[in-house]
């Protein structure tokens, strides 16, 4: 199978997209952590301008929202980078249309990426107009993660074409244990977003207990009330202490459950030598992420550690995606379970060659 220039260009652009999407997610996390999510009261501009205006212009546009130039620039830089990411997706969509007759070209993934980036733009607008409503903030986080992983999945598929793997090749479907691990990881990342958007990061003092108790007073109904009123300014949160405590405890329990399933995954597939480096990396990043979470609680959520915790979550999702791809790519795989000899003699050398 001949590799076209379009395929190679798309492959490198998709890899660049992974890096850029990660940068945009971290910029979004930075914006949230420095309380700059409403640094500009409107969207897509800032006080009606495409750049942060002076005080007089801002006052004329929104007299009840004083300009904080530092927070406004943090928000606008995030938007500028997100716009570049959107242009990159448009470019990849154009390439996909041109290469639509190329055998095995991942057209559906390209279309999904375009759809998700448009939804992500809508979530970005709603994040501002609904004044950091936690439900939208979490959807915006998951949307950013979806964009990042779709870039990676697109890259892996294009890598397969460039490696001249048979265009009729099909990945096997994940088995139950993999699906549970993936589901728990997505849930845990969503819980992290819910914790952050409701300002529950330090609702518990101490590890492993919470406020000196193993099971402190908690309001689960209010903490996970998805029908919260739309309209209040959710900057700094609206929930009372016991509701925030419930969110923090749920995030901790989610971390324990995820760690247990990842350990089972490693033990179950350790016999496959080709997967060992990926499984080891997966467990190592989880351990690092767990350490960052503990440090954030003990040190009262310092900005650098909080940002590193977000980066760790995205990195864990990326490595999980690569691990699933590598396992599913093994020849004659059935539910991601094959014999070791087949794995070692695979002509498809790995997720990254």
Q: Known catalytic residues? A: 75
Q: Report d(CA 293, CA 201) in Å as an integer.
A: 9
Going by C-beta distance under 8 Å and a sequence separation of 6 or more, which residues neighbour residue 329?
160, 171, 346, 348, 351
Q: Which of 228, 242, 315 is nearest to 22 (CA)?
A: 315
- Give 213: exposed, middle or buried? Use CB within 10 Å, 0-12, 13-18, 19+: exposed
Can you tell me whether residue 334 is helix, strand or coil? strand
Q: Report d(CA 25, CA 82) in Å as an integer.
A: 9
**Residue 4 vs residues 10, 141, 153, 286, 321: alpha-carbon distances, Å:** 10, 35, 19, 38, 26
Q: Report d(CA 134, CA 253) in Å as an integer.
A: 20
**Tokens encoding 115:** 């759809």
CB atoms within 10 A of CB 42: 15
- What length does the chain have? 353
State how far Cα 149 lies from the chain centre.
8
Maximum CA extent, the chain: 72
């Amino acid at each position: 199978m001949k590799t076209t220039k379009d395929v190679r260009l798309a492959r490198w652009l998709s890899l660049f997209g992974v890096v850029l999407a990660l940068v945009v997610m971290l910029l979004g996390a930075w914006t949230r952590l420095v309380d700059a999510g409403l640094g500009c009261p409107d969207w897509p501009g800032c006080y009606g301008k495409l750049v942060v205006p002076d005080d007089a212009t801002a006052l004329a546009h929104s007299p009840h929202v004083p300009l904080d130039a530092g927070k406004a620039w943090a928000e606008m830089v995030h938007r500028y980078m997100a716009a570049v990411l959107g242009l990159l997706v448009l470019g990849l969509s154009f390439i996909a249309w041109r290469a639509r007759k190329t055998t095995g070209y991942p057209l559906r993934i390209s279309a999904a990426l375009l759809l998700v980036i448009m939804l992500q733009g809508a979530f970005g607008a709603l994040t501002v107009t609904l004044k950091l409503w936690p439900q939208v903030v979490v959807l915006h986080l998951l949307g950013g993660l979806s964009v990042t992983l779709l870039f990676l999945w697109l890259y892996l598929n294009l890598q397969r074409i460039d490696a001249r793997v048979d265009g009729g090749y099909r990945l096997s479907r994940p088995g139950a244990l993999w699906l549970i691990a993936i589901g728990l990881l997505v849930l845990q990342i969503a819980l992290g977003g819910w914790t952050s958007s409701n300002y529950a990061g330090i609702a518990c003092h101490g590890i492993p207990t919470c406020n000196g108790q193993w099971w402190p007073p908690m309001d689960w109904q209010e903490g996970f009330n998805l029908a919260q009123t739309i309209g209040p300014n959710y900057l700094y949160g609206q929930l009372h202490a016991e509701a925030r405590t419930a969110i923090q405890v749920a995030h901790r329990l989610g971390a324990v459950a995820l760690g247990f399933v990842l350990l089972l995954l490693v033990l179950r597939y350790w016999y496959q030598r080709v997967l060992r480096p990926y499984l080891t990396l997966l467990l190592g990043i989880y351990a690092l992420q767990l350490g960052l979470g503990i440090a954030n609680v003990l040190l009262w959520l310092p900005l650098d550690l909080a940002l590193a915790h977000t980066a760790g979550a995205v990195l864990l999702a990326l490595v999980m995606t690569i691990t699933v791809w590598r396992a599913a790519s093994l020849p004659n795989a059935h539910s991601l379970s094959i014999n070791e000899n087949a794995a070692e003699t695979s002509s498809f050398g790995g997720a990254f060659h």
